[in-house]
Structure 1
Amino acid sequence: MLCPGRFQTGFALLRRIEPIVVMEQLGSTLFETALQMVVRDRCANATYPDVSRDDSQQKAITNFYMNYNLITKLTPIIPALLLARLSDRGWRRAPVVAPLTGYLLSRLFLLLVVLLRLPLEVMFGATAVYGLSGGFSAYWAGVMTLASLDSTPTDRSKVMMSSRYTEKLQVMMIVELLYGIAGLVGSLVSGHLFQLYTPNLAQGTILLIVSTVLHLLCLIQSIVLLQVKQVHKREPDESSHLLSRASSSSLAVEAPAAVNVVNVVLLFAAAILYDFAVGGAAEILTAFVLKAPLSWSATQVGYGNAAGFGIFLTSFLGVILFRRWASDATLILIGMMSFAVGIYWMSFATATWIFYLARSLTLFALIPMPTIRSLLSQQVPLSLYGTILTCLQVALIFAGLAYIPAFTKIYQGTLDWFPGFVFTLSSAFSVLAMIPISITGCRSAQRRQYERIQGD
């Protein structure tokens, strides 16, 4: 009697979005490590006039990632909007299935680059295909929409008590935690898998085969097994992030009747500045760890990526710890300060232990952006939630189109005298982002005090 029940439970689990998120993230972390090491190997013999061999390799790596990431940022804009429209019209699987197809094809492209020794520039076409399929923006919005449909409106509005949070974890929070844990595990094993090879298979082939198989399984599951719960039209879909859901004040504040323009502008400014800081640093970190004196191997690259995914867990725990005593604005400031201090120390990372020390100081760095989204939702009427969050996402995309080439060229220009200068610059942008958040916090405090006086 137990076996049929367990089979039904297992089958029901396979029809949910969570297994897809785990497998996709495992496959993606394997792919990212493989791409990083393939790019390093292909750029090893790059030469630039009047530049040392090591600096030439760094320039070649950063030039590749600059073009690669610009294509990744630019191509998904229109497809993601179209997929979102399809989702709103009832095609809930579309924002998941289409990007997963792009993921699978891009992994196949890199596998062919390794097996057939194709030019590295083939990956520009691969990321264009990935972007035209909707990219991460469409995929994650689709995932969070499906996750929200698996919980009732009452469940989605519960406020977690820190002493019993394991009993009241909302579905979307579980999805985010699984995403971070899968990234952590995948990164830890990716370097070891990269080292596996045979006389007939080059390094990275086995790693890419595993990654491709995982994405193929994700695509099949999303088409064949994934179940979409039907809801009434008057029940709104929710697709906000884990940390915004964990923010207690956002759950308790009613939507205003009109747009608070000043606060919206301040929050947009803070989000753009912080995204500029975090995105710019992440853009360079990929090449920085491959440069002397760090000169990381594939295994060390995997461990370093795992440290990055560990911030998902520490940021979540930070919200659970601080939200009882801190407002949304204070939570954001804590996260920004954490990143500013950690990335500043990254400027002086001349040994692996210094890198991990700097990473450990950024343990709350993921708190600001989703909490800013939560605060934005409190500044506009309910009917404008989707519009304001979409506008923010578009603004962040255009910010990426600015910081990717800017940080790349600054890094290349400072390789000789201070390679970590871009991280100091990133820290400065993070501090600047704290100014509009502080103003927003003061304005919100004054408003609450005024409302309290009016109520009395």
Structure 2
Amino acid sequence: MATNLCQSAFALLRRIEPTLVLEQLGSSLFATALQMVVKDRSVNATYPDARLSEEASQQRAMTDFYMTYDLLVRLVPILPALLLARLGDRGWRRAPIAVPLCGYVLLSLALLLVVVLRLPLQVMYAGAVVFGLSGGYGAYWSGVMTLAALSSTAAERSKVMMKVELLYGIAGLVGSLASGHLFLLYSSSLGTGTILIAVGALLQLLCLTQATVLLQVKHETPQESEDTSRLLPDSPGEVPAPVERNRVNVVLLVATAVLYVAAVGGAVGIMDAFVLKEPLSWSATQVGYGHAAGCVIFLTSFLGVAVFRRCVGDVALILIGMLSFASGIYFMAFVRTTPMFYLARSLNLFALIPMPTIRSLLSQQVPASSCGTTLTYLQIALKFAGLAYIPAFTKIYQRTLDWFPGFVFTLSSVITVLGMIPISIVSCRLRQKQEYTRIQVV
């Protein structure tokens, strides 16, 4: 019995799930720590503009930091992520996962040094560059999703990818709930937040060790790659789609993803500063709970996929998710109390459905041999979009802070609605292709 349990535990440790859990636990602790450290370091920020109040100056300092930090995190990894994706498609499937995890560890250590040694907050810019050179989140998440895509059939791919998102969300929920309380643990010699950051760094180090030493990756044969590159699985009544890329659908899907990520990324990026100002003025514990509320959306989105996919297709799932986010983020523009914040987040129940479903559709438009590279190209497109929407949302928020701080959330809702147009065109094209295929078969 004990031997069987040990074998089962070892087999589990060789799967991708422990990697996801450890990484997200560490990242959720890091996110809360960074948000509170930025807030503390921005208290005494001053600007030449005498019209700015103390709170407005703090908000401007925070959003300026996040604007530069986010741009570095998104843009520096572009070339490294592409190189790692090509390595992955040539058989080194572990590389796009393990190398970025090194960057995660170094980024956590950079924040720890900022707090312990009282270094300037701008040191985190150097940490962001190092993190980017390791491939960053784009390389890591593309590597994880590629493994998930290649281990499933086309028919089940959306469900498998949402399971990955579900596990990621559960880990984030647990980590976020604990993060606020861990931040308050105080070390008289090192200061508030050091325990939280140290625990997060340790989790990232454990994750790196598991991904490097234990993670098992199935090596594909050419025959398997050819078999899994079809749009639809082999089953009675179904006709395999050709292996060639459907370039028009790829462009439309990328356009949908760019618009949606611009809306989500711009709004969520501002939300970190929005909840720390009056009238919300959240503490570290409330920040952790707020992150946990965002992680709950992973669970509800997974349940949404499980329920809705029985009666609707992938395109309809994407539209449901986009509508969910558009309504919730519009309501967020008028939030004035913490209960109202959670009510607005509750409208975002299915907001995480679109991106994994878009990736699923995108992976079905290309051969399996270029799946990893295609998904990484998508991540690169999203990063270039960040070059536009991150500064735009930041400056709009700063200029509307006095008269309507929630204006950026309204703008985000409008962009989401615009993103529904290209995916609707994809729906029409897929329907026409299915009808044409049926006519050929008859």
Normalised by the size of structure 1, how large is the TM-score?
Answer: 0.88
- Provide the rounded CA distance (Å) in 2 between the counterparts of 1:314 and 1:254: 33
Note if contact 2:14-2:215 (Cα within 8 Å) is conserved in structure 1: yes
- Correspondence for 1:157: 153
Residue 305 of structure 2 aligns with an amino acid whose one-letter code is V
- Provide the rounded CA distance (Å) in 2 between the counterparts of 1:121 and 1:347: 30
Match of 1:216 among 201, 205, 220: 205
Q: Does 1:203 align with 2:204?
A: no
- Provide the rounded CA distance (Å) in 2 between the counterparts of 1:439 and 1:310: 31
Note if contact 1:343-1:424 (Cα within 8 Å) is conserved in structure 2: yes
Q: Does 1:59 align with 2:60?
A: yes
- Correspondence for 2:173: 184
- Provide the rounded CA distance (Å) in 2 between the counterparts of 1:276 and 1:286: 16
- Provide the rounded CA distance (Å) in 1 between the counterparts of 2:158 and 2:259: 31
Residue 338 of structure 1 aligns with an amino acid whose one-letter code is S
Task: Please report how far the alpha carbon of residue 124 of structure 1 lies from its aligned counterpart in structure 2 after TM superposition.
Answer: 0.3
Q: Which has the higher contact order (CA 8 A, sep 6+)?
A: 2
- Correspondence for 2:18: 19
Q: Deviations over 1:232-253 (max 9, x none)?
A: 243239999xxxx9x9xxxx77
Residue 351 of structure 2 aligns with an amino acid whose one-letter code is A
- Provide the rounded CA distance (Å) in 1 between the counterparts of 2:334 and 2:52: 22
- Provide the rounded CA distance (Å) in 1 between the counterparts of 2:43 and 2:419: 37
Relative to structure 1, the CA distance from residue 237 to residue 137 in structure 2 (aligned partners, 3 Å threshold; closer, same or farther) is farther
Note if contact 2:153-2:228 (Cα within 8 Å) is conserved in structure 1: no
Q: Deviations over 1:366-414 (max 9, x none)?
A: 1112222333344456666555444332221111111000000000000
- Correspondence for 2:319: 333
Q: Does 1:29 align with 2:15?
A: no
Q: Deviations over 1:166-222 (max 9, x none)?
A: xx9986554432211100100011001001113223110110111111112122222
Structure 2 SS opposite 1:234: helix
Residue 198 of structure 2 aligns with an amino acid whose one-letter code is I
Residue 4 of structure 1 aligns with an amino acid whose one-letter code is T
Q: Deviations over 1:61-86 (max 9, x none)?
A: 00000000000011111111222222
- Provide the rounded CA distance (Å) in 2 between the counterparts of 1:80 and 1:169: 23
Task: Please report how far the alpha carbon of residue 3 of structure 1 lies from its aligned counterpart in structure 2 after TM superposition.
Answer: 1.5
Relative to structure 1, the CA distance from residue 453 to residue 188 in structure 2 (aligned partners, 3 Å threshold; closer, same or farther) is same
Note if contact 1:103-1:130 (Cα within 8 Å) is conserved in structure 2: yes
Task: Please report how far the alpha carbon of residue 131 of structure 1 lies from its aligned counterpart in structure 2 after TM superposition.
Answer: 0.8
Q: Deviations over 1:34-90 (max 9, x none)?
A: 000000000011122320111110000000000000000111111112222222333
Please list, as runs of the form range in 1=range in 2, the aligned pairs for 1:317-396 lying within 5 A after superposition: 317-380=303-366, 385-386=371-372, 388-396=374-382
- Correspondence for 2:225: 236
- Correspondence for 1:50: 51
- Provide the rounded CA distance (Å) in 1 between the counterparts of 2:256 and 2:90: 33
341-350 or 303-312, larger mean C-alpha shift: 303-312
Residue 52 of structure 1 aligns with an amino acid whose one-letter code is S
Match of 1:302 among 288, 313, 327: 288
Note if contact 2:82-2:376 (Cα within 8 Å) is conserved in structure 1: no
Q: Does 1:282 align with 2:278?
A: no
Normalised by the size of structure 2, how large is the TM-score?
Answer: 0.90
Structure 2 SS opposite 1:236: helix
- Correspondence for 2:101: 100
Note if contact 1:191-1:302 (Cα within 8 Å) is conserved in structure 2: yes
- Provide the rounded CA distance (Å) in 1 between the counterparts of 2:214 and 2:255: 42
- Provide the rounded CA distance (Å) in 2 between the counterparts of 1:292 and 1:210: 30
392-401 or 180-189, larger mean C-alpha shift: 392-401
Q: Does 1:432 align with 2:422?
A: no
- Provide the rounded CA distance (Å) in 2 between the counterparts of 1:237 and 1:356: 47
Aligned residues: 435
Note if contact 1:156-1:170 (Cα within 8 Å) is conserved in structure 2: no
Note if contact 1:414-1:421 (Cα within 8 Å) is conserved in structure 2: yes
Residue 165 of structure 2 aligns with an amino acid whose one-letter code is E
Note if contact 2:161-2:356 (Cα within 8 Å) is conserved in structure 1: no
- Provide the rounded CA distance (Å) in 2 between the counterparts of 1:23 and 1:395: 27
- Correspondence for 1:163: none
Relative to structure 1, the CA distance from residue 46 to residue 411 in structure 2 (aligned partners, 3 Å threshold; closer, same or farther) is same
Note if contact 2:163-2:302 (Cα within 8 Å) is conserved in structure 1: no
- Correspondence for 1:75: 76
Residue 378 of structure 2 aligns with an amino acid whose one-letter code is L
- Provide the rounded CA distance (Å) in 1 between the counterparts of 2:406 and 2:172: 26
| Percent sequence identity over aligned pairs | 66
- Provide the rounded CA distance (Å) in 2 between the counterparts of 1:218 and 1:111: 18
Note if contact 1:338-1:361 (Cα within 8 Å) is conserved in structure 2: yes
Residue 116 of structure 2 aligns with an amino acid whose one-letter code is L
- Correspondence for 2:133: 132
Residue 407 of structure 1 aligns with an amino acid whose one-letter code is F
Structure 1 SS opposite 2:191: coil
- Correspondence for 2:7: 8
89-98 or 349-358, larger mean C-alpha shift: 89-98
Note if contact 1:148-1:238 (Cα within 8 Å) is conserved in structure 2: no
Structure 1 SS opposite 2:225: coil
- Provide the rounded CA distance (Å) in 2 between the counterparts of 1:376 and 1:72: 24
In structure 2, stretches of 5+ residues that fail to align are none
Residue 343 of structure 2 aligns with an amino acid whose one-letter code is L
Q: Does 1:193 align with 2:193?
A: no
- Provide the rounded CA distance (Å) in 2 between the counterparts of 1:62 and 1:239: 45
Q: Deviations over 1:253-297 (max 9, x none)?
A: 743465545434433322221111111111111111111101110
Q: Does 1:39 align with 2:34?
A: no
- Provide the rounded CA distance (Å) in 2 between the counterparts of 1:171 and 1:330: 18
390-399 or 260-269, larger mean C-alpha shift: 260-269
- Provide the rounded CA distance (Å) in 2 between the counterparts of 1:112 and 1:382: 43
Note if contact 2:35-2:272 (Cα within 8 Å) is conserved in structure 1: yes
Structure 1 SS opposite 2:352: coil
Q: Does 1:225 align with 2:226?
A: no
Relative to structure 1, the CA distance from residue 277 to residue 148 in structure 2 (aligned partners, 3 Å threshold; closer, same or farther) is closer
Note if contact 1:349-1:355 (Cα within 8 Å) is conserved in structure 2: yes
Residue 113 of structure 1 aligns with an amino acid whose one-letter code is V
Relative to structure 1, the CA distance from residue 237 to residue 420 in structure 2 (aligned partners, 3 Å threshold; closer, same or farther) is farther
